[in-house]
Amino acid sequence: MAKQEYKQLPKRSEAHSATEQFKDTIKTSLGLDLFKGLGLTIKEFFSPSVTIHYPMEQLPLSPRYRAVHHLQRLLDSGSERCIGCGLCEKICTSNCIRIITHKGEDNRKKIDSYTINLGRCIYCGLCAEVCPELAIVMGNRFENASTQRSQYGSKSEFLTSEQDAKNCSHAEFLGFGAVSPNYNERMQATPLDYVQEPSKEESKEESKEEAPTNPESHKGDENV
């Protein structure tokens, strides 16, 4: 690694007399640096405002913003997407998700309780990435301050209402954890893509060879 050569700036001559001090003051006050700063101040004074009146006004958030979770429903039937696999609970690094399930009459898992401890959650989004049914996603509600813990953390706080799902009042989720719009283009080739399909002539020959023979015709030949 090459050594960095530092350049030593010349020392500023100190003004000893009153005349030299006056000249330095005039040079510093009326120099270009002063006008540059004044020009920037005047430019920003007439430029549009970049601040907003929060909380009455809020800036739009990115669709992949990671905030308080949402539990999704199917848009056509309104049923819950969660199948109780427990992958979100296992992958959670902060151990804030807890699922209690039981087997129903159809031998499928039924969810008894689904809780998320927002006091421990670090909003990493791993639960949304690992979910195979897109049941848990990251929302954009970042204001979750409360004086009581019982006001948030239960399933009813995260689950989408059944009426909104059936009425299709909200579109399919496209935020963090959802399938990317260009997922078809990003898919890589698999070994099945290199398998050559048999030609029409080969398929006809194989069908003739595999065609079953009629046993009654053979019996007639033997009698003759």
pLDDT in tens, 126-138: 999 899 888 898 8
Task: Provide the number of structural domains found in the chain.
Answer: 1
pLDDT in tens, 87-96: 999 999 999 9
Helix (H) or strand (E) run with residue 20 in it: helix 18-29
pLDDT in tens, 162-173: 776 667 666 666
CATH number at 140 reads 3.30.70.3270
Binding residues: 82, 85, 88, 92, 121, 124, 127, 131
- Decide: 67 and 92 in contact? Cβ < 8 Å: no
Q: Over pLDDT 70: what percentage of the chain?
A: 69
Q: Assess if residue 42 is contained within a domain.
A: no
Q: Assess if residue 135 is contained within a domain.
A: yes
Q: Measure Cα distances from 208 to 62, 122, 169, 202 in Å.
A: 61, 65, 57, 10
CA-nearest of 67, 57, 59, 70 to 143 is 67
Q: In this structure, what are the phi and psi dihedrals at residue 184, rounded to the nearest 5 degrees?
A: -65, -40
Q: Over pLDDT 90: what percentage of the chain?
A: 10
- Decide: 86 and 139 in contact? Cβ < 8 Å: no
pLDDT higher than 70, residue 66: yes
pLDDT higher than 80, residue 201: no
Domain range for 137 is 69-167
Binding residues for [4Fe-4S] cluster: 82, 85, 88, 92, 121, 124, 127, 131
Q: Assess if residue 36 is contained within a domain.
A: no
Q: Assess if residue 91 is contained within a domain.
A: yes
Q: Assess if residue 35 is contained within a domain.
A: no
Mean pLDDT is highest, among 32-46, 116-130, 179-193, 205-219, for 116-130
